[in-house]
A and B are shown apart, each in its own frame.
Chain A
């Protein structure tokens, strides 16, 4: 109505580029271990320089593997020896400890600056090296390097691609009442190296990574009503995509990055639309009397899965992107199923399910078998997002009265919690692989 009256809200909005040193560090706890996970020992890496070891690479790898639910890394205190190279490994003693694989490595300072890192992965039973690499890295890149090593180990042993060297985005909120402020943050997948890319006194919602990992679409209320923006992660530069009357929400990138699906209400009711970003053209996709929101693309780019309460309570539906046929309902169990994310292989959908005790939990439905499984055990779980390899789901939950992030293996076996020192964090979005 009078947008100028809300311009004052712009003060206090800061667009930030991702650069510089790490700030907030998230706390990570493994809340539920797994039986049947592969036993592995990641021995603390040797440090050939003077002073303190620049980074605990083995600790990072160990945590990565444990969080995946696929591995049970040995505790350091249980290690009988600490080899740092293959020729120091006594395979017999590791075999008595029932360890299948051993990871060893060394960090050395380079005269030109930075570090040389060598690592080797051994199969204990075959007494053979399975993988071995040498890297060079500056100090700030050592965590990333550790995640890359985790990816190598994961791939060698499970045969599948790891998603440890990826990033996430999430929204944090601190303070209350008039002092409340919101940040859109980007961090490593494990919450480290978190940096804000947007700060605002008004709510920020629905972050979504572009498929190339260069941009994030989100909703900001900074001008008093919601608008959809696309921001370059690196430069902080951004573009307003939609600020129509009413709701501008729930942006979702097409797999080729050329379109954004959104939920808009400027024509009266909240409906789904597809915006062609190159041509700035908007096309309406749904028509119903209910709320239609939370679009998610299937990986082939041909269908949209979304939330609609056209039949009463919210349920998931799917519709072809070209609108060639009517939406088809996907969920029938329970009276509340909302906020879908489609797995990278397109075979499963994670969403928020309300159970008979009015607890909101993350459920995963397998599209082929139609079987639904609840994979979390909270009462306020929401915003599920698949890892790019489909093996883990990150979601928002509540712990000790605060908003925290939970991660669960997609089979529901291993659970991890990420929390910040203060305030609430929520709405995680898992970024794509970094090639």
Chain B
């Protein structure tokens, strides 16, 4: 029963995450409708994610083990091991988008598996944008990116109480520079583990 419902629920959540967080670039009328839907589902989404996150260790770990790339049976101190696959902690975004791209799903799944296994470990999701446009609006965009990652982590079984999000907007670039290359590296969410000092 659980196995049948789960993959479907996840797909739905992922789709909604994209819809809720990516403002369409053109068409104000359609855009309006999408944004409103996004808002409405945003609430539903977090509730769903909260529900699943709390669906007791068993259900959550079943799913994460199945979804996670190989070698996700992390030891507790794997987070402090620079050689661990958990050392990949940055998720990059496309211009004007807060949708998580497919190639970063493995990073999210690994961290979700680790965090779901060690429920007392906290993660901080730091959202960033490139330098273009209004600084205050960029704080909003960075927050949306962090929120996208948060929703996915929760969908993979991390408890919302383990997650803190913060947006720095364009204030803390990873790379100095005023070109496409720098901008691509600055549109990101960083997973930070405050307790491990990383």
A354-B42 Cα distance, complex, nearest whole Å: 28
Residues in B whose Cβ lies below 8 Å from that of A117: none
Task: Name the distance in Å between B45's Cβ and chain A's nearest Cβ.
Answer: 11
Give a binary string over B109-137; 1 marks a CB under 8 Å from any A CB, 0 the rest: 00000000000001010000001111111
**Cross-chain contact A312 with B27 (CB below 8 angstroms):** yes
Quick one: which of B152-186 are within 8 Å of A by CB? 161, 164-169, 171-172, 176-178
Residues in B whose Cβ lies below 8 Å from that of A293: 136-137, 139-140
**Cross-chain contact A310 with B135 (CB below 8 angstroms):** no
A332-B28 Cα distance, complex, nearest whole Å: 9
- Please name the 9 residue pairs, one residue from A and one from B, whose CB atoms are nearest each other, closest first: A289-B39, A312-B31, A291-B140, A339-B134, A203-B171, A338-B134, A1-B164, A311-B32, A294-B136
**Cross-chain contact A311 with B31 (CB below 8 angstroms):** yes
A270 within 8 A of B: yes
B contact residues vs A (CB 8 Å cutoff): 20, 23-32, 34-40, 42-43, 96, 122, 124, 131-137, 139-141, 143-144, 161, 164-169, 171-172, 176-178, 194-195
Residue of A nearest to B95 (CB): A358
**Cross-chain contact A291 with B141 (CB below 8 angstroms):** yes
**Cross-chain contact B25 with A312 (CB below 8 angstroms):** yes
> Majority SS of interface residues in chain A?
loop
Task: Name the distance in Å between A280's Cβ and chain B's nearest Cβ.
Answer: 23
Residues in B whose Cβ lies below 8 Å from that of A315: 28
A147-B167 Cα distance, complex, nearest whole Å: 41
**Cross-chain contact B122 with A2 (CB below 8 angstroms):** yes
**Cross-chain contact B168 with A312 (CB below 8 angstroms):** no
**Cross-chain contact A335 with B35 (CB below 8 angstroms):** no
**Cross-chain contact A270 with B140 (CB below 8 angstroms):** yes
**Cross-chain contact B133 with A338 (CB below 8 angstroms):** yes
A309 within 8 A of B: yes
A1-B164, A312-B25, A380-B132 known; A247 vs B143 contact (CB < 8 Å): yes
Residues in B whose Cβ lies below 8 Å from that of A109: none
**Cross-chain contact B137 with A307 (CB below 8 angstroms):** yes
